[in-house]
Chains A and B, each alone.
Chain A
Amino acid sequence: MIRLEHLSKTYSGRTGTHQALRGIDLHIEAGDVFGIIGQSGAGKSTLVRCINLLERPTEGHVLIDGKDITAYRGKELAKLRESIGMIFQNFSLFQQRTVLRNVMFPLELRHANKREAEARARELLKLVGLEDKGDRYPVQLSGGQQQRVAIARALANNPKIMLCDEATSALDTMTTHAILNLLRDINRELGVTMVVITHSLSVAQQVCNKVAVLDEGVIVEQGATAEVFGNPQSEATRRLIAADKGLLLDEYVAAQHEPYMGVPETPASAIAAGVINAADSIQAGNPAGTAAILDPVREAKGGDK
């Protein structure tokens, strides 16, 4: 579905050049939730932005459904981007538009019939559990709710692919779980292929079936999530695992921990996992269900409205 071939990206500025990506080869198959994990500055954002050409690679090719899109421009590029939704760390919602009109934005761009666009937007808001918030403005929503709006907006054009750049990094643990669950539901039920950028091991473990570890612009390891984290081959991966346990690499290695397999049983994540399991079993097949279940929890937490 997405194939990156010998992809390189060099930024050149006044202070010199910086090679953010070096010869990336990657194959993301249809239906994957593909994690790209790495430390800050590893080149994760650059990599994902090359997929929809927000960033132009300096070398190499991007293929989508077998077609080389690297040279796409203008109308061709706009058309391609309609089939690739994207969500961002700080949500990037339009502040002067209502929630409903935010979701309608991608449809407005291609001059869709207004009534149909509105109906579609309302349907999507329902999917993300915000059907009653259409007339609000982004500033009136919590972070988790704003990201749900952004997800609805990214789905407006029925994309085949969704790019998520640190989509949960601005959210608390509980909200992160809920959003990740929503993304997983979208992947399963709508068949949207996901590329999930994260620096967090637990995020990758919760949703990704495959991961690639990026370090200083190079993919140092990739494969099934459980395998990569269960049997880390590279120092970069070990460092990420150690960081997730709150240790330095040396401490982690010295302690000779078992290969890392699960979310640490801190109270917060234990509660969240419990809630999410309940949500899954009760509301399988309805992503809005997670919101329904999480809402009382949020209220208990002190009114995250």
Chain B
Amino acid sequence: MEAITAFIDQYGLLMAQGTWDTIVMTVLSTLFAYVIGIPLGVLLILTAPGGLHPHRVFNSVLGWLVNIGRSIPFIILIVFMIPFTRAIVGTSLGVGGAIVPLTVAAAPFVARMVEQSLAEIDGGLVEAAQSFGAGTWQIITKVFLVESLPSLIRGASITFITLFGFVAMAGTVGAGGIGDIAIRYGYQRYQDDVMIVAIVLCVVIVQVAQSVANLIARKIDHRVK
């Protein structure tokens, strides 16, 4: 009991701040990654062979860019992007500095997830919408994004959890957060208690994120009775 109080006195604030920073970085970069990734995923589906606006060249080039984005290891991407990050947010450090590479790393991943979710939609629904006079924009907003919403939310939880891991890596190059604490205190200073608490916090955050996402996805999916 005393040990716990002592630990909280010594590291409580630090760990709370670290946890908060990690959550903020993960949530914001997930959000920004979707802002970029959804249009990319939609474009991939629209221009695919047999899509609403098939365009072989555009589709290949975009698919290619997305693959390149996905193939650069994150830790290299962070370093490579430092000048670009500075230009956008003024710093390559801290929460702000981490969000730029995190977003860039996640956007292509999200694009593929969105593409996957949209590909699952029954082509008959798109056709039905067309038969009532729906244009492309209406099909995107009223069919694609509505019918695939449960799948998109499940995808978002995967993105969130993947980015959560990336945030820990970003922590080692000056982003802060719980991963940074685990490395600096737990690893470099042999503070096993800090390490263990950090790991437990990570596990809890990931579990909660997954459960909440599953719950929402189930709640809004009307394909199950």
Contacts and interface: CB of A to CB of B under 8 A. Distances in A.
Interface string B130-173: 11111100100011001101100000000000000000000000
A270 B136 CA distance: 47
Given A94-B143, A97-B146, A109-B138, A137 B222 contact: yes
A138 to B, nearest CB: 8
A86 B147 contact: no
B27 interface: no
Contacts of A108: 142
B128 to A, nearest CB: 4
Interface in A137-168: 137, 139-140, 153, 156-157, 163
Contacts of B221: 96
A77 B225 CA distance: 37
Nearest to A137: B222
Contact of A95 (B130, B131, B223): B223
A81 interface: yes
Q: On chain B, which size bracket covers the interface? A: 20 to 34
B193 interface: no
A54 B131 contact: yes
Given A94-B143, A108-B142, A139-B223, A88 B124 contact: yes
Contacts of A282: none
Contacts, number: 74
Contact of B131 (A86, A94, A140): A86
A195 interface: no
Contacts of B149: 96
Contacts of B142: 105, 108-109
A188 interface: no
A81 B146 contact: no
Secondary structure class of chain B's binding surface, majority of residues: helix
Contacts of B138: 109
Contact of B146 (A84, A85, A92, A96): A96
B128 A96 contact: no
A94 B132 contact: no
A92 B122 contact: yes
A79 B222 contact: no
Given A79-B133, A81-B133, A94 B146 contact: yes
B16 interface: no
Contact of A81 (B125, B132, B220): B132
Contacts of B61: none
Contact of A54 (B127, B223, B224): B127
A236 to B, nearest CB: 28
Interface string A83-114: 01110101010111110000001101110000
A85 B125 CA distance: 14
A82 interface: yes
The list of the 9 closest CB pairs from A to B, nearest first, reads: A78-B133, A81-B133, A92-B128, A137-B222, A106-B132, A86-B131, A92-B124, A95-B223, A82-B133
Interface of B: 122, 124-125, 127-135, 138, 142-143, 146-147, 149-150, 220-225
Given A79-B133, A92-B125, A139-B225, 12 more contacts: A52-B131, A78-B133, A81-B132, A82-B132, A84-B131, A92-B124, A96-B220, A97-B222, A98-B222, A105-B132, A109-B132, A109-B138
